[in-house]
Amino acid sequence: MADHPVDEKLPPLKMATTGLQHVAAMYAGVVAPPLIVGAAIGLSATELTFLTGACLFTAGLATFLQTLGIWKIGARLPFVNGVTFAGVAPMTAVVASTDDKSDALPIIFGAVIVAGLLGFVAAPFFSKAIRFFPPVVTGTVITLIGISLLPVAFGWAQGPSPTADDFGSATNLGLAGITLAIVLFLRRFTRGFVKQIAVLLGLVAGTLVAIPFGVTDFGPVADADVVGFPTPFHFGAPQFQIAAIISMCVVMVVSMTESTADMLALGEIVDRPADEKTIAAGLRADTLGSALSPVFNGFMCSAFAQNIGLVAMTKIRSRYVVAVGGGFLVLMGLCPMAASLIAVVPRPVLGGAGVVLFGSVAASGIQTLVRASLDKDNNVLIVAVSLAVGIIPIAAPEFYHSFPENARIILDSGISTGCVAAVLLNLVFNHIGGRGRDAEDVTHPMEAGDEITESSREAAMK
């Protein structure tokens, strides 16, 4: 019996290039949190490089846990794990509230360890929520994942920093457009292996095109060390403060909710639907990876949604490909010079490729919604309201500005709010109190009505 495509082991060259493609797609997302938090603390360039390398290293370890798995840990799906951006706001809040900035990282690390261990214990209970994720819910959430990621690609396309003079310049947008065109050209006019690594080739070609415009910076390669190792507790032994722990536990709940949605999305894409057992194992990998990450000076880890788009687009479903990507991440953590090579790719070039990747996730969600019985009035309402709730943080970023900071951690995540809304609405409309109006056909305001005859017009006038 042939192996499922998820368990397929590809030829070495194909495994390496497609694995590197996954790293290229998620690299910016991994390094952004340590750069933001490190800058808030005021770390030196050397310490900032060390912190970034540590996050790459721990992302690789977490990816191994998720893809290869041990015991009941790991979804064994093609998942890339890395630093979750959901933790940036509370971590910078910890930095701001800490008088001695040298204590900030130990306090953050202590909070992440506790949150990770509590999440590990809660994983099997959390996974039971799978029964509340029928196609109408999963399709909505998958679509929201893609929509929520698209602004990231648009931001990359404009440039690395909103404060820079060339942010959103014609040059940056042009480079993003060229990269997008190259990826689309390769996907349309090539076949086989070249078609499958179109994103990686597009990133390389886009980087080469960017050189004459002075956007490509090779400085990080020249300044990087060849060998480095994230010494355990380099920034000091973890400290445990209750406020920071509560804050990171909230982030852990958000992260577990998004990871559940991501596993359901990826399960649909690779044709291995994620059941309760798979989700529990995947959440254990997320939470254990998060608990171990601070030992090597990394932050909370979570599944990376952008790589789901890469799986959907390339149709390469092997978890071993992503495990190879995890190997590259570990090597980058041990070899800062190797990590700096990915950093050479200009942000606008990443943005151009990101449009394809993240749009593919949204398209996968729409495909799932096709199977969600949208001819039923209830399901249309569930999708309509849940999408609207999930898009609020994107369309109106300051919508929740008057809410407490801890509440905004959840509310500012469109994926989380949309997911909760879809689950609750599905319960109300399709479960509580019987099936209700579920059997009714959907009615549309713009739907053509019955033909208006002369007799009906006369009757209406009476």
| pLDDT number for residue 44 | 74
Instruction: Report yes or no on 448 lying in a domain.
Output: no
Specify the number of domains making up the chain.
Answer: 1
Instruction: Report yes or no on 459 lying in a domain.
Output: no
Is 282 buried (19+), middle (13-18) or exposed (0-12) by CB count in 10 A? buried
| pLDDT number for residue 435 | 52
pLDDT tens digits for range 410-438: 677 777 788 888 889 988 988 776 554 44
**Tokens found for residue 414:** 């469109």
Q: What is the pTM of this model?
A: 0.66
| pLDDT number for residue 406 | 66
Instruction: Report yes or no on 101 lying in a domain.
Output: yes
Instruction: Report yes or no on 315 lying in a domain.
Output: yes
Query: Which residue range(s) make up the domain with 409?
Result: 5-430
Q: 265-274: buried (b, 16+ CB within 10 Å) or exposed (e) per residue?
A: bbbbbbebeb
Rounded distance, CA 358 to CA 430, Å?
A: 30
* Nearest to 308, CA basis, from 5, 26, 8, 63: 26
Rounded distance, CA 220 to CA 209, Å?
A: 19
Is 373 buried (19+), middle (13-18) or exposed (0-12) by CB count in 10 A? middle
CA neighbours within 13 Å on the CB side: how many for 269?
32
Rounded distance, CA 202 to CA 353, Å?
A: 7
Angle, alpha carbons 362-364-365 (nearest 5°)? 65
Residues with Cβ < 8 Å from 436, sequence gap 6 or more?
378, 429, 430
Is 408 buried (19+), middle (13-18) or exposed (0-12) by CB count in 10 A? middle
Instruction: Report yes or no on 40 lying in a domain.
Output: yes
| pLDDT number for residue 132 | 76
Amino acid at 146: G
Instruction: Report yes or no on 335 lying in a domain.
Output: yes
- SS3 for 108-163 is HHHHHHHHHHHHHHHHHHHHHHHHHCCHHHHHHHHHHHHHHHHHHHHHHHHCCCCC
| pLDDT number for residue 181 | 94
Query: What is the tally of helices (H) and strands (E) in the chain?
Result: 19, 2
Instruction: Report yes or no on 248 lying in a domain.
Output: yes
Instruction: Report yes or no on 301 lying in a domain.
Output: yes
462 residues of the chain, pLDDT tens digit each: 457 888 888 888 888 888 888 887 777 667 767 877 887 787 776 777 788 888 889 999 999 999 998 888 988 888 888 887 667 767 877 887 787 888 889 999 999 999 999 999 999 888 887 677 778 887 887 788 778 778 878 888 998 778 888 888 999 999 999 999 998 998 888 876 677 677 778 888 998 999 998 888 776 666 666 777 778 888 889 999 887 888 788 778 777 877 887 888 888 888 888 888 889 999 999 999 999 999 999 998 888 776 787 788 778 888 899 899 989 888 888 877 766 666 677 889 888 888 887 787 788 778 778 877 787 888 899 999 999 998 998 888 888 888 887 677 667 777 778 888 888 998 898 877 655 444 455 444 334 434 444 454 454 444
| pLDDT number for residue 224 | 65
| pLDDT number for residue 338 | 67
Residues with Cβ < 8 Å from 118, sequence gap 6 or more?
249, 252, 287
